[in-house]
Amino acid sequence: MKLKLTAIFCLVSMFTFAQKKVDKQEWKQLFNGKNLDGWDIKIRGNDLNDNFGNTFRVEDGKMVVRYDQYDDFKQKYGHIFYKEDFSYYRIAVEYRFVGEQAPKGEGWAWRNSGIMIHGQPAATMGKDQDFPASIEVQLLGGDEKKRTTCNLCTPGTNVVMDGKLITSHCINSKSQTYNGDQWVRAEVLVLGDSLVQHFANGEMVLEYNKPQFGGGNVSGHDPSRIIAGQLLDHGSISLQSESHPVEFRKVELLNLKGCMNPKATNYKSYYVKSDESACTFGKKK
């Protein structure tokens, strides 16, 4: 009997080990810690990849937003776009606000940045466009009063909450307030057009569904690209420059769309959206 139980335990252990190997989450580092390879830059009033004032740069292994070459911010809102788009994924950044706001930055933009998801491609933005039509996961630093982070803002978009279309531009999350220069991990679960959830330091603080074009709060764009009511199930990912210095020490993504055929060499049990074209077959290493 003891021998039989030992054999069963070994089999269970082997199965658990195998499952753990299959289930290992493969996060992709979108920022390599060395340079801005793989990213496009669009700053209001400038052409694509004209990095005015060296706004976006790498310092000490971090992607940073700086304004030391600005005399006047002049509403030169900027975004740095990863060059691929995604539909089903988790995106995470570790960020902190530092230093003083750029000269003549808007009051609301103090310690303010964001992760833009389901956005338009950088190349489709107008030269004088301020924000990409997208869903913004707003990142805010504290000022000793209640000031939540991982909020929702909607440049050129709307969402649905509890079955109702939300047309307000910004909705606060239920997160804590993070004062000072502390690092915060912001994470977003994006499942096409069906569900989006915001997390602050591991706590789920906001959720909604049916992200879609509509509403205002974006200017300088091509109106033909924003079809009101069109659901957004994929798009670009970008990080903001809104006049306050911010640092990102990590930008990583877990793709949830891929091969869901268990016989394939690249099958992952955590995928939630099938992409049969991605499957590879052959001898597993």
Strand 273-274 relative to strand 257-258: parallel, antiparallel, unpaired? Answer: parallel
- Predicted local distance difference test score (pLDDT) of residue 18: 45
**Helices marked H in the chain:** 2-23
- Predicted local distance difference test score (pLDDT) of residue 22: 54
In words, the CATH class of domain 25-274 is: mainly beta
The residue ranges of every structural domain in the chain are: 25-274
Spatial separation of the C-alpha atoms in residues 121 and 132, rounded to whole Å: 8
Buried b (16+ CB within 10 A) or exposed e, 51-63: ebbebbeeeeebb
Q: How does pLDDT run along the chain (285 residues), one tens digit per residue?
A: 444 444 434 443 444 444 445 568 999 999 999 999 999 999 999 999 999 999 999 999 999 999 999 999 999 999 999 999 999 999 999 999 999 999 999 999 999 999 999 999 999 999 999 999 999 999 999 988 899 999 999 999 999 999 999 999 999 999 999 999 999 999 999 999 999 999 999 999 999 999 999 988 999 999 998 999 999 999 999 999 999 999 999 999 999 999 999 999 999 999 999 999 999 998 655
- Predicted local distance difference test score (pLDDT) of residue 16: 43
